[in-house]
């Protein structure tokens, strides 16, 4: 169901206030051909009404001739900023960039963030944005999970379907995604709500078994038969199963890149307003699947790049896989048991 401009403007104002937008600050709204017009118009109105100086920077899409999917996260090659010094300069001079086109996993984004610019990605449909406006309570919950993750030396994940995999940790930082940007140089994604990190290079080993109903992204599909992955020294060495496994295998092979098979980020969902079932209610091109990535208690893992965390892998292939009913332990302490987060839920908002 669609939402009114009024409701989306109010949602933007809440997120911008959480992001500490102040009168007189420079806001650049980054757009492309796929930008949702209501999200764009309400973002500009909300930021301007809060006293910001608002600019729009519209860039041409790229990678369309190489990608097998229209999903903006399906192919992470060059970006519209590659070699575009004028656009990069404008974004570095901004206090806040509202990314309505999806700029991810790129050296240009890192350069902009290092300049102190804050970047907030928001590309889900307007009704999804309104349903999952972030809160300070959710920030506290995600930060607490991230703090545990940052101290851990090992993540061990098991499931009734047969998952039994261990990830050695410590080489890469723990990341908190809670839906707003409240510090200079911070990137985040509205909506979100999860903690994640990356396994040490070459130190992920075991078996991952996707069960029926687990999700493949960017395929945006619930699998119908189990998929078995064998992980050795940080890479997938076999993918077995039925048609779902065949589709995934062919898709990953199309990149002709060994790094496509590397383990990427790992973590768990902490957003109670995100729902596992939502993906089945949307057209595939209407959403990038943030409900699937963030729903509470999932085990979210990925294949592909790690340059977002400072690693060297820049493969264009990026596969996200949210799984249900897993148990996640950090150094032997369970943080998720059978798909249920064990932290007691978000703290009360009044406690902030």
User: Could you read off the pLDDT of 87-142 as tens digits, one per residue?
Assistant: 999 999 999 999 999 887 778 888 999 999 999 999 999 999 999 999 999 999 99
Residue 84 is predicted with a pLDDT of 94
pLDDT greater at residue 140 or residue 71: 140
pLDDT digits (tens, 9 = 90+) for 245-285: 999 999 999 999 999 999 999 999 999 999 999 999 998 88
Domain boundaries, the chain: 5-130, 134-351
Cα–Cα distance measured from residue 232 to residue 292, given in angstroms and rounded to the nearest whole number? 26
Mean pLDDT for the chain overall: 94
Mean pLDDT calculated for residue range 333-341: 98
Runs of H (alpha helix) within 65-205: 85-92, 107-114, 126-131, 136-151
Nearest to 115 by CA among 92, 99, 97, 94: 92
Residue pair 129/98 in contact (Cβ under 8 Å)? The answer is no
Please tell me the least confidently modeled range out of 64-73, 119-128, 184-193, 229-238: 64-73
Beta-bridged to residue 303, according to DSSP, are 263, 319
Mean pLDDT calculated for residue range 308-336: 93
Q: Please identify, in words, the CATH class of the domain defined by 5-130.
A: alpha beta
Cα–Cα distance measured from residue 41 to residue 149, given in angstroms and rounded to the nearest whole number? 38
Angle 37-49/5-18 helices, nearest 10 degrees? 60
Q: Is 182 helix (H, G, I), strand (E, B) or coil?
A: coil
Mean pLDDT calculated for residue range 305-328: 90
Residue pair 63/75 in contact (Cβ under 8 Å)? The answer is yes
Cα–Cα distance measured from residue 42 to residue 13, given in angstroms and rounded to the nearest whole number? 10
pTM: 0.94
Residue 351 is predicted with a pLDDT of 39
Beta-bridged to residue 228, according to DSSP, are 209, 240
Residue 348 is predicted with a pLDDT of 54
pLDDT band for 347, please (50, 70, 90 cuts). low
Residue 352 is predicted with a pLDDT of 42
Mean pLDDT calculated for residue range 235-252: 97
Lookup: tokens for 198:
């990356």
Share of the chain above pLDDT 90, in %: 83
Lookup: tokens for 170:
């410590």
Lookup: tokens for 201:
């290079």
What is the CB-side half-sphere exposure of residue 24 using CA atoms within 13 A? 0
Share of the chain above pLDDT 70, in %: 96
pLDDT band for 11, please (50, 70, 90 cuts). very high
pLDDT band for 66, please (50, 70, 90 cuts). low
């Amino acid at each position: 169901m669609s939402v009114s401009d009024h409701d989306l403007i109010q949602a933007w104002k809440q997120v911008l206030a959480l992001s500490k937008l102040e009168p007189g600050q420079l806001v650049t709204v980054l757009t492309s051909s796929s930008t949702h017009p209501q999200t764009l118009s309400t973002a500009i109105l909300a930021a301007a009404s809060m006293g910001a100086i608002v600019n729009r920077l519209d860039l041409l899409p790229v990678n369309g001739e190489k990608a097998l999917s229209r999903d903006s996260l399906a192919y992470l090659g060059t970006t519209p900023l590659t070699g575009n010094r004028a656009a990069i300069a404008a974004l570095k001079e901004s206090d806040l960039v509202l990314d309505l086109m999806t700029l991810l996993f790129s050296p240009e984004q890192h350069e902009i963030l290092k300049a102190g610019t804050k970047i907030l990605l928001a590309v889900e449909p307007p009704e999804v944005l309104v349903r999952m406006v972030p809160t300070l309570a959710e920030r506290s919950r995600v930060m607490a999970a991230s703090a545990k993750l940052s101290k851990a030396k090992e993540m061990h994940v098991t499931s009734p379907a047969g998952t039994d995999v261990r990830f050695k940790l410590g080489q890469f930082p723990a990341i908190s995604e809670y839906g707003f940007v409240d510090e200079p140089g911070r990137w985040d994604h509205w909506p979100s709500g999860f903690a994640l990190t990356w396994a040490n290079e070459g130190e992920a080993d075991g078996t991952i078994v996707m069960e029926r109903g687990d999700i493949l992204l960017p395929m945006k599909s619930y699998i119908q038969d189990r998929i078995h992955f064998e992980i050795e020294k940080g890479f997938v060495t076999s993918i077995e199963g039925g048609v779902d496994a065949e589709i995934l295998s062919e898709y990953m092979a199309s990149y002709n890149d060994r790094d496509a098979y590397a383990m990427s980020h790992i973590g768990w969902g902490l957003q109670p307003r995100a729902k596992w079932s939502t993906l089945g209610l949307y057209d595939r091109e209407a959403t990038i699947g943030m409900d699937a990535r963030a729903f509470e208690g999932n085990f979210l893992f990925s294949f592909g790049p790690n340059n977002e965390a400072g690693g060297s892998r820049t493969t264009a292939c990026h596969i996200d896989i949210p799984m249900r009913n897993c148990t996640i332990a950090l150094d032997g302490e369970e943080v998720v048991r059978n798909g249920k987060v064990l932290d007691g839920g978000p703290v009360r908002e009044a406690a902030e």
